[in-house]
Structure 1
Amino acid sequence: MVRGTGRHTLDLLDCALDCCRYAAETYDHIWLVFDKDDFPAGDFDAMGRKCAELSDSSRTFHAIWSNPCFELWPLLHLHYSTASMNAAGCQRQLASALDCELGLTYRKNMGGLYEALASRRGMAARNAAKLAAHHKDLGESRPSDCNPCTRVGEIFEELDPYLTDDLG
Structure 2
Amino acid sequence: MGNKKKLSSMNLERYGYKEVVHENVKVRCRILIVCEGEKTEPNYFKSFDQMQYGSAVYNIECEGGKINTVQVVDKAIELRDRAIDAGTPYDTVWAVFDKDDFPASAFNAAIIKAEQHEIGCAWSNEAFELWYVLHFVNRVTAMSREDYKKTIGKYVNGATTYTQKTKYVYQKNDPKSRTIMNTHGDEARAIRYAQKQADNFDNTRYATHNPCTMVYKLVRLLRGEDRMFNEKIMKDITIK
TM-score when normalising by structure 1: 0.82
Question: Relative contact order (alpha carbons < 8 A, sep ≥ 6): 1 or 2 greater?
Answer: 1
SS in 2 for 1:2: strand
8 Å CA contact 2:108, 2:204 repeated in 1:
no
Matched with 1:116 is: 180
Matched with 2:110 is: 47
Larger Rg: 2
More strand by share: 2
What is the CA deviation profile of residues 52-99 of structure 1, one whole-angstrom value per residue up to 9, with x for unaligned ones?
2112xxxxx111100100000011001222111122222222222222
Matched with 1:33 is: 96
Matched with 2:13 is: none
TM-score when normalising by structure 2: 0.59
Structure 1: unaligned runs, 5 residues or longer: 56-60, 163-168
- The equivalent position to 1:125 in structure 2, one of 191, 206, 212, is 191
Deviation at 1:132, TM superposition (A): 1.6
Task: Give the Cα–Cα distance (whole angstroms) in 1 for the partners of residues 221 and 175 of structure 2.
Answer: 23
The one-letter amino acid of 2:224's match is P
Q: Which runs of 4+ in 1 moved over 4 A?
A: none
Once the two structures are aligned, what percentage of the paired residues are identical? 30
Deviation at 1:156, TM superposition (A): 1.5
8 Å CA contact 1:68, 1:147 repeated in 2:
yes
Counterpart check, 1:78 vs 2:132: no
Task: Give the Cα–Cα distance (whole angstroms) in 2 for the partners of residues 161 and 28 of structure 1.
Answer: 14
Matched with 1:148 is: 211
Deviation at 1:142, TM superposition (A): 2.1
More helix by share: 1
The one-letter amino acid of 1:106's match is Y
What is the CA deviation profile of residues 117-168 of structure 1, one whole-angstrom value per residue up to 9, with x for unaligned ones?
23611110111122123x32xx654221111110001112111129xxxxxx
| RMSD between superposed Cα atoms in Å | 2.0
The one-letter amino acid of 1:150's match is T
Answer with 80-89 or 98-107: which moved more: 98-107
The one-letter amino acid of 1:31's match is W
Task: Give the Cα–Cα distance (whole angstroms) in 1 for the partners of residues 96 and 187 of structure 2.
Answer: 18
8 Å CA contact 1:20, 1:27 repeated in 2:
yes
Counterpart check, 1:63 vs 2:106: no
- The equivalent position to 1:21 in structure 2, one of 81, 92, 102, is 81
